[in-house]
C-alpha cells in the first residue's frame, strides 16, 4: 500500500469511526500532511469507488461510509466471537435494503478485469481438453469439493477425503450419522441435476430454486417449499424471517437481483 492509498484508508477509517463528518473535520484529523485540494480529490475518488458517500451541499456537505462499503469492512473474527452472543451488536432481523445495496457493483473496475481475465484463462485451458475422460474427472473433482464445502456450512462433519470416498466408492464414514451421509449424496445429486439440465438454469427462477431445494432435502425430514413458521439460529440474536409472504418476497428479489447482474458476475452469486 503506497502513501496515497494509506492516506485514503485513513480517511475511510476516520469517517467510519465518526459516522458523518465534514471535510474540515477530516483536514483537522489529517493535520498538515495534506492540502484541501488534495483531500477533495481523495474524497471524489473514494465516492467514485463507492467507498464513501456524501449528502448536503456547500458548507453543509458531510461524508459517510457508503452502504456497499459496510459489507467489506474488516472484521476481527476472534474478537467478535469472544463477545458473548447476547452482547454483540448485530442487525437482529432481515435487512431488505440489502437488495438495493447489492444492485450496485460490488467490484472495482480492476477487480472485474482481473476476474474476467481469469474466466477467459479458464475457458482457454478447458477447451484444450480433448478427452471426455479428463473432462469427467474434472467435473467429479468440482462436484466432490462442492458437496463437501456446502455440507460443512450446514454443520456436516465429513472430511474432504471422507466425502470423496463416499461419492466415488460409496464408503460411509465411520461414526457419521445417516443424515450427514444423505446430505453429501444429496449435494452430489443436485450438482449432477444442474449439469444435466444446464439450459434450465442459465437464468435463475423460482421454480428452479424449488427444484434444487427438493433434491437437497431428500430423505432429511425437511418440508418442501416456503416455510410458514419461525426458526432460530443457535448462538446468535438474529431472527430470520418467520412468514411465507416475506420469505417469498425476499427470494423473488434475490432472483431479480442476480438475473440483472452481468452474466459472469451472476455466476458468483
For each of the domains in the chain, give its residue range(s) and CATH number, in order of start: 3-70 (1.10.10.10), 105-225 (1.10.3290.10)
pLDDT at residue 115 tops 80: yes
Give the rounded percent of residues in the chain with a pLDDT score beyond 90. Answer: 42
Q: What is the pLDDT of residue 100?
A: 86
Question: In this structure, are strands 52-55 and 62-65 parallel, antiparallel, or unpaired?
Answer: antiparallel
Q: What is the pLDDT of residue 269?
A: 46
469511526: which residue's cell?
17
Q: Does 155 or 228 have the greater pLDDT score?
A: 155
User: Cα angle vertex 108, ends 105, 114, to 5°?
Assistant: 115
Q: Does 86 or 265 have the greater pLDDT score?
A: 86
Contact 141, 153 (CB under 8 A): no
How would you write 168-210 as a 3-class SS string? Answer: HHCCCCCCCCHHHHHHHHHHHHHHHHHHHCHHHHCCCCHHHHH
Sign of the torsion formed by the C-alpha atoms of 194, 196, 201 and 206: negative
Note the pTM of the prediction, 2 decimals. 0.72
Return the top range by mean pLDDT from 34-38, 97-101, 149-153: 149-153
Q: What is the pLDDT of residue 185?
A: 98
Amino acid at each position: 500500500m503506497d502513501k496515497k492509498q494509506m492516506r485514503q484508508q485513513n480517511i475511510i477509517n476516520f469517517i467510519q469511526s465518526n459516522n458523518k463528518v465534514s471535510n474540515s473535520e477530516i483536514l483537522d484529523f489529517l493535520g498538515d500532511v495534506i492540502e484541501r485540494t488534495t483531500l477533495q480529490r481523495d474524497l471524489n475518488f473514494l465516492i467514485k469507488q463507492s467507498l464513501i458517500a456524501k449528502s448536503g451541499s456547500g458548507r453543509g456537505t458531510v461524508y459517510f461510509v457508503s452502504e456497499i462499503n459496510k459489507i467489506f469492512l474488516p472484521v476481527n473474527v476472534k474478537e467478535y466471537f469472544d463477545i458473548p452472543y447476547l452482547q454483540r451488536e448485530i442487525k437482529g432481523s432481515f435487512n431488505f435494503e440489502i437488495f438495493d445495496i447489492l444492485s450496485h457493483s460490488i467490484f472495482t473496475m480492476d477487480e472485474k478485469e482481473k476476474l474476467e481475465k481469469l474466466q477467459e484463462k479458464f475457458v482457454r485451458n478447458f477447451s484444450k481438453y480433448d478427452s471426455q475422460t479428463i473432462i469427467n474427472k474434472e467435473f467429479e473433482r468440482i462436484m466432490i469439493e462442492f458437496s463437501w464445502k456446502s455440507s460443512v456450512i450446514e454443520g456436516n462433519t465429513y472430511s474432504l477425503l471422507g466425502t470423496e470416498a463416499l461419492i466415488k466408492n460409496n464408503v460411509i464414514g465411520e461414526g457419521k450419522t445417516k443424515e450427514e451421509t444423505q446430505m453429501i449424496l444429496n449435494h452430489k445429486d443436485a450438482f449432477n441435476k444442474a449439469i444435466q439440465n444446464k439450459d434450465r438454469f442459465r437464468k435463475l427462477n423460482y421454480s428452479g430454486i424449488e427444484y434444487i431445494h427438493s433434491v437437497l432435502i431428500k430423505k432429511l425430514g425437511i418440508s418442501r417449499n416456503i416455510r410458514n413458521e419461525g426458526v432460530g439460529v443457535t448462538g446468535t440474536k438474529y431472527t430470520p424471517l418467520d412468514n411465507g409472504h416475506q420469505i417469498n418476497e425476499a427470494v423473488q428479489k434475490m432472483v431479480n437481483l442476480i438475473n440483472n447482474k452481468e452474466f459472469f458476475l451472476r455466476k458468483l452469486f
